Structure 1
């Protein structure tokens, strides 16, 4: 038994080391979890604060209250009474207290704290000391779901501080295990008293987690055979609560004279450390994910040695493989643009010479692949007591995409402003012409002047209507509300009809339109109206931007599974920097802003979308300004021939035949000038016309006047046009009159609502009176 003293000293040393390690783990736990501790001596009245607790309150150690009432003054007024009651009750019952309260930070802000305390009493039951922890739980109150997890961890750390027990176990040559000693702490650890553990060692083994048993058995056998130290961490189930706890068993074996082996060891509960480690691991994982998602790199520069440490994201930002960074400040400088490297070094030296705590910076780098990237960042400096710079730790953020987006946003905003200015210009021009023409007709002009003024006003009104149509088309395109009505066509036929409609434009500009394409060999499936819209846009642009007397050529051919159409001019050309933006909304550029022709520059945006809806592509080409331009459209070839066109009977002219003239017309429009001018035109055709300006009046007038046709505006005050139509159709007396909507609302949704309300026709302002007059002449009355 001569080795027992040595064994005891070994156990004592081991125990002392374990306590030191546990204290260190405790400090780490307190720092990680931001927990402060305090003690209150009831004999002296002095309250002692830990550094962590003073930091939570934003105080220096000198500012920390030393008296209980001073501390209570920092508690929120609404919580003080309950706080005092909880503490008093815990003292009366000799129990711990758990209480969440609000405290005042040095900044003046009230934050939440979880207070935990325990009293210590003398032999007479009088309290002599209290000790506890304060945990800042502000974030838990702001994010309750996260707070539950963190509060649980904090309670475990606060309520189950690391503890352990000593033990001694003997292994016989036959393989039996016999515990000969357990300290009293075992009861609290696993719910089995020391006497129970000594009497039934098998019971302890049965509490080991089944997954850990094989590993523990192997480690025990290795220790037994080689008399090597035993050190294993495993899970033990608490005998009373069923809770699984992590424990660490460490022991040193020695062989007794009779051949038995005895292990003298320490049993430590490391559950809290495990939880802390897991929480730290999850926190680091979240931090790493945040750094990757935000392109945030972290660096640590040891100023004294010149070494630099990067995280993984910093390598990715600089375009380097992990571990290939040189690890020095010089290696960093080599990857920064020279001009930025010089300015950065000057800024860092200046900051450190003034012992500034931190600095913000921005610089550009070039990756090994030759990519230019923009970096922004911030760093903090550490200094010695003498002011010597020691470290610079900071973050870098790759802001390349953000700067590109900001530049693109500024460019889009500039284009939008240019477009608005152009829209104002395009609206004011026809209005000025109309105003001038009206002035000419205000007196008693001769017939020639009156006719000329009439032509001017008609042309400018048509121009305004065209501008509005372009704006509506863009709206429908951007909202995805355009639907194609495709049919089998030959591209040559569409080209012929588009060119025919622009014959007068080219003649007025003395321009030559050259067409070269085959017949009956370019079948496509297309919406003829929308495809003609594309071709007219492209041909009109070519005419506008080609000088008088210039040439525009249209060629088309079949190329495998596609037909390729080219519209080429020898006009003003397109700057190279504008080629990539020609089809973007609001991207007119100098070509449009300095133009002499009208238009909003929306045609190319509309054209590209329509071509893409047909499954095709459109691109612009130009050698530069003054060298002309070419627009190339590719469309998929359709399988099968183009059906022969059906012959349609001739449309009867307005003057042919004798149709029954509609005599009673009701005009409903809240715009007085519009209503009166339309009524005047209708009366000139011999119709009897009544006018009202709101929905309620329309219902009353319809019952009294009994109109054969109602011309109905939809945007009426009070009861709108849809409601007027619905109410009239519900009355059997008004199932017969025709209702024609004449409105500024022309979207497909507006037309659908018109049909559902029982409206027969939907016309969009401004309506050609010839169109309306023809509709009134050739539409039969309802049966």
Structure 2
């Protein structure tokens, strides 16, 4: 089919883009009207000549033109039209053949569009797909105009088709890429953007809304300067984008931004170029990752590192002090033991015994302070709150500290109001607070220097001052004096020993009671004043009457199983039991202990927990599994005094948990209780 064969019908086509454009050109370039004598053949030849002149324009635009004759149901196509539909040139074409080429999924829409155009005598334009014989898909854009006959009926359709496959595939790929990017961005905590060649935003992830409160769509088409960023941040963004566009190389930068709630965020951003087929940068993808937590953690790590170095220094000082403090009691204990061994003088032996008892008490106090601090730090120290007067607390504390003041001949002045000042607290722990403060005042005051304690009310608070005229505190250490293991005078002429635990313990116990403690000093050599503030409590309506203790019952002889892998510890406890009139059965490991309990009719057992073969808990469970051992009193005597250790022995059905060293009073109390149980037991 010649190109000119469809030229005539095309002239009547105004809706198709290519043909309409061609028609306008023809009309603009039309020559002046020919004389009436010009024949029709000459006019057709002139028109064909002009059409040939513009044929290359249509073909270069890849436009296929057609005319569909409705009466004959025949379609005349241009050469380009055959190429687009992949049919041999000159093949007779019908509308049914055209429909066979249309993709089945698009056929209904194409039929409906053409039907509507024929009914309304209207122009149409649509996009649809062709499915070729080899199964490939081609995207086209078709348009047409309905021609009518003299009666106004539809006679045919002039139209054009343009192959838009490459453009559509590129657009689909772009849209698919943006959909994938959006899908990924929805599940990422990062802020993802894409900028075009003009550095304008073409995509923004939804994460931006959490940060700024603005919808992602509000950023589309805007540059960084329009994002309402701080001027310095916007300038940095713009400079990085321009650099990536210019150089085609990725860039990384960081910035800080305050979100809509006023919280600061630290971002690290990667700017990545995307290239077109010619290798030019067509867009820049930015991924801004929120590293606020990581930066905060890094800062915390740096701060923790400094704190750890400080703690390590204090630990080393503490260990050195602990070694010194432990060696102190050990030396007189060792000497006193030698005196008892070699001296026959009763007074010397009694003096040595007193030394050992005093030094052991000092060692036990050091260990107990350490355990107290550990329990408080772990939040496992329970205090029993009851109404108590501050006068009672101070009286108990003065009674405990009196030997210190008498030894150094230090007068103590105390001034307490006549009206009881009530607080809600644990009498033992409150007494411990003021006992430590009074002992501290005595320790760091010279012999004969007075110490004062007074109490009063300030609003709804009870305020107690402990003053001394001792060596005082430098201003530089006042803020650190309550820290654990801190000793202002650890060495030198003012060194008084100790582990630096007492004041830390005071602070934590005061805070457990809802109060606070502070210290003030006018400087070195000018004394110190510790101030404790506690909440004032209402006076109770009535106090329970004290029930007098029952008189001590004379002990009956007991047979006691002593289990400890420390031979000296087990042997000395056995000697103490025998001195009290009891019989001791010794075992130095767990298996032997279970055997001794089965072979001997014992009345009670002291069990160490850390045995070399099986633990004391396992020993207790095995003893409890026997008929005779179900009611046997079991006492855990161990160096393990943590709260979890006590829970463990309680679960193993121990009757009591006592930490070493065992005090004589505890030994007498426990054996008396067992003796009373044995006395009340019916004989078998």
Same fold (TM over 0.5): yes
Counterparts of 1:633 and 1:432 in 2: how far apart (Å)? 37
Q: CA shift at 1:466, angstroms?
A: 0.9
Structure 2 residue 362 is matched with structure 1 residue 457: no
Alignment counterpart, residue 500 of structure 1, candidates 376, 399, 412: 399
Instruction: Check whether the contact 1:422–1:593 (CA below 8 A) recurs between aligned residues.
Output: no
Structure 2 residue 593 is matched with structure 1 residue 692: no
Alignment map for 1:528-677 (pairs within 5 Å): 528-586=427-485, 588-592=486-490, 596-641=495-540, 643-644=542-543, 646-649=545-548, 652=551, 659-677=554-572
Instruction: Check whether the contact 2:19–2:65 (CA below 8 A) recurs between aligned residues.
Output: no
Structure 1 residues 547 and 277, CA gap change in structure 2 (3 angstroms): farther
TM-score by length of 1: 0.54
SS in 2 for 1:502: helix
SS in 1 for 2:232: coil
Structure 1 residues 518 and 255, CA gap change in structure 2 (3 angstroms): farther
Structure 2 residue 682 is matched with structure 1 residue 781: no
SS in 1 for 2:488: helix
SS in 2 for 1:325: helix
Alignment counterpart, residue 203 of structure 1, candidates 90, 108, 119: 108
Instruction: Check whether the contact 1:207–1:238 (CA below 8 A) recurs between aligned residues.
Output: no
- Number of residue pairs the alignment of both structures matches: 520
Structure 2 residue 607 is matched with structure 1 residue 712: yes
Structure 2 residue 659 is matched with structure 1 residue 764: yes
Q: CA shift at 1:6, angstroms?
A: 5.9
SS in 2 for 1:606: helix
For structure 2, the residue ranges without an aligned partner over 5 or more in a row are 1-9, 12-17, 23-54, 68-76, 87-96, 114-121, 132-138, 149-156, 193-227, 237-248, 257-265, 272-287
Alignment map for 1:738-753 (pairs within 5 Å): 738-753=633-648
Q: CA shift at 1:205, angstroms?
A: 8.1
Q: CA shift at 1:672, angstroms?
A: 0.7
1:444 maps to 343
SS in 1 for 2:609: coil
SS in 2 for 1:733: coil
Counterparts of 2:631 and 2:231 in 1: how far apart (Å)? 86
Structure 2 residue 304 is matched with structure 1 residue 405: yes
SS in 2 for 1:741: strand
Q: CA shift at 1:745, angstroms?
A: 2.5
Structure 1 residues 524 and 169, CA gap change in structure 2 (3 angstroms): farther
For structure 1, the residue ranges without an aligned partner over 5 or more in a row are 16-165, 171-179, 186-191, 209-223, 240-248, 292-320, 330-356, 366-374, 381-394
Structure 2 residue 232 is matched with structure 1 residue 325: yes
CA RMSD after TM alignment:
5.6
Instruction: Check whether the contact 1:11–1:264 (CA below 8 A) recurs between aligned residues.
Output: no
Structure 2 residue 610 is matched with structure 1 residue 703: no
1:473 maps to 372
Q: Max radius of gyration: which structure?
A: 2
Alignment counterpart, residue 488 of structure 1, candidates 381, 387, 396: 387
Structure 2 residue 619 is matched with structure 1 residue 721: no
TM-score by length of 2: 0.61
Counterparts of 1:13 and 1:543 in 2: how far apart (Å)? 109
Per-residue deviation, residues 195-214 of structure 1 (Å, max 9, x unmatched)? 56499978348999xxxxxx
Q: CA shift at 1:537, angstroms?
A: 2.3
Q: CA shift at 1:454, angstroms?
A: 2.1
Structure 1 residues 714 and 204, CA gap change in structure 2 (3 angstroms): same
Instruction: Check whether the contact 1:668–1:693 (CA below 8 A) recurs between aligned residues.
Output: yes
1:30 maps to none
2:315 maps to 416
SS in 2 for 1:467: helix
Per-residue deviation, residues 453-487 of structure 1 (Å, max 9, x unmatched)? 22222111111111111121222223322222221
Alignment counterpart, residue 326 of structure 2, candidates 423, 427, 431: 427
Per-residue deviation, residues 686-742 of structure 1 (Å, max 9, x unmatched)? 333322222332233233331233333233333433333333344333456543332
Alignment counterpart, residue 177 of structure 2, candidates 276, 292, 295: 276
* Of 281-290 and 267-276, the range deviating more from structure 2: 281-290
Instruction: Check whether the contact 1:517–1:556 (CA below 8 A) recurs between aligned residues.
Output: yes
Counterparts of 1:757 and 1:419 in 2: how far apart (Å)? 36
SS in 2 for 1:536: helix
